[in-house]
């Protein structure tokens, strides 16, 4: 009887050991699988790093052209507001960065790597948080739809990503030279040529869909564009008018989003402080 009891105990302990080992192996495999980066994910991250370098070079040019507002509270609010919207975008392989360009010209620029620069003039024309959300969502549309990286080419006429692929393992000096070349083309696209009308319409559509997914009313963004349309011919809008399709055409395409019953962003004390800081700038 005693021998039988010992056999049962041994059998029981053996089974427990096997179960524990099996669980350890399963957990280890699951952990390993979760930590493995696929070749596709690796390529996405590598391309994102090169985009950041291109974007930072283009950012430096824009900052040199206009200057950047160095107001800590102002920039902090804009970044918190912008990043809260960017969290819902598909492209999460880089951080989004927002800055205010020191010019009264009304415009905004999205650059590779998640850089979004909005002019002081464009921000001063705002009246509600919903309008700011619309402006940011439009620029996020350009980035998430790859409008810049797919449209900007250099002398070789290769696609932006094909260029990056050739230099992906190259010396940093070569990559930096390439970044400078591409940033020049980005500047040319932003200030002289502008994007094709369909990309601007697509960015507006992206903004409408993004705001709708956040249950935010697009009416404020439409109202903002309507006020800009009413100022057509104003000196502050020359660059915007030159590089964008007619405002009335953009407004017509946004009509489809106005039929949804969603909330309007409230005007908060933080937003009022943001606007007061803006309006105090010369």
> What would the pLDDT profile of 72-105 be if each residue is shown by its tens digit?
999 999 999 999 999 999 999 889 999 999 999 9
φ, ψ for residue 97, nearest 5 deg = -130, 135
Positions in the chain short of pLDDT 70: 1-36, 43-44, 151-195
Domain ranges, residue 139: 39-279
- Within a domain: 13: no
Number of compact structural domains in the chain: 1
In a domain, 214, yes or no: yes
Q: Mind listing the pLDDT tens digit for each residue in 184-229?
A: 666 555 555 566 788 999 999 999 999 999 999 999 999 999 999 9
Residue 171 lies in a domain: yes
Q: Which residues contact 67 (CB under 8 A, 6 or more apart)?
A: 101, 102, 103
Q: Is residue 147 part of a domain?
A: yes
């Amino acid at each position: 009887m005693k021998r039988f009891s010992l056999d049962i105990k041994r059998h029981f302990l053996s089974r427990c050991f096997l179960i524990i080992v099996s669980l350890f192996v399963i957990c280890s495999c699951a952990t390993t699988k979760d930590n493995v980066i696929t070749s596709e994910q690796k390529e996405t991250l590598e391309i994102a790093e090169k985009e950041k370098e291109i974007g930072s070079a283009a950012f430096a040019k824009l900052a040199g052209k206009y200057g950047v507002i160095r107001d800590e509270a102002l920039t902090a609010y804009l970044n918190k507001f912008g990043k809260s919207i960017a969290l819902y975008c598909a492209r999460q392989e880089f951080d989004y960065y927002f800055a205010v360009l020191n010019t009264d010209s009304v415009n905004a620029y999205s650059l590779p790597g998640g850089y979004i620069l909005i002019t002081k003039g464009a921000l001063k024309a705002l009246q509600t948080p919903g309008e700011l959300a619309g402006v940011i969502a439009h620029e996020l549309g350009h980035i998430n739809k790859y409008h810049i990286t797919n449209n900007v080419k250099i002398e070789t006429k290769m696609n932006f990503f094909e260029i990056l692929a050739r230099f992906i393992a190259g010396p940093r000096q070569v990559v930096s030279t390439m970044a400078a070349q591409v940033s020049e083309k980005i500047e040319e696209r932003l200030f002289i040529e502008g994007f094709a009308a369909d990309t601007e319409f697509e960015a507006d559509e992206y903004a409408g869909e993004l705001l709708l997914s956040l249950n935010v009313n697009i009416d404020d963004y439409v109202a903002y564009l309507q006020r800009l349309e009413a100022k057509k011919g104003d000196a502050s809008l020359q660059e915007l008018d030159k590089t964008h399709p007619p405002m009335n055409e953009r407004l017509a395409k946004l009509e489809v989003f106005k039929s949804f019953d969603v909330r309007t962003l409230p005007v908060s004390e933080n937003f009022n402080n943001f606007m007061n800081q803006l309006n105090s700038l010369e």
